[in-house]
Amino acid sequence: MEPSYREFLERLAAMAATQGPLGDGAFRDVSLCGMPPLPSEPGQPCTPACRLDGTTPGVIQVATDAPDADIYEGVAKLGTDAQVAVRMHRNVESQLAELSSKVGIRDGCTPVLHF
């Protein structure tokens, strides 16, 4: 494991021990993804410490070098949106599974409707 990532995980554990869980434990379905620091370009706006993952519902990307306060603030701001996204995704998956069972799709065969 890369030392900076290990340090990030240790910081998260220490923060949780002293400040309590991120989002006061309300975001149980949300995952954090530690991201390596992005190089900053002079004159460019600062990259936020936390941002929603654009491809995976319920994931908040966190810069591993972000200050503790920025991580807590970022999760507080984005946690509800991430929680809603993961629940919506699970709901869609459940609906698709139900439709698949009604249609009778098996092993790539022609669908058979069950009424």
Reported pTM = 0.77
Angle at CA of residue 9, ends 30 and 19, nearest 5° = 70
Contact 69, 77 (CB under 8 A): no
Q: Say which residue, 89 or 38, is predicted with more confidence.
A: 89
Q: Tell me: the pLDDT tens digits for 11-58?
A: 999 998 998 888 788 888 999 999 988 777 777 777 889 999 999 999
- In the chain, % of residues over pLDDT 90: 49
Q: Mean pLDDT over all residues of the chain?
A: 86
Nearest to 34 by CA among 62, 59, 14, 7: 62
Residue 52 CB neighbour total at 10 angstroms: 18
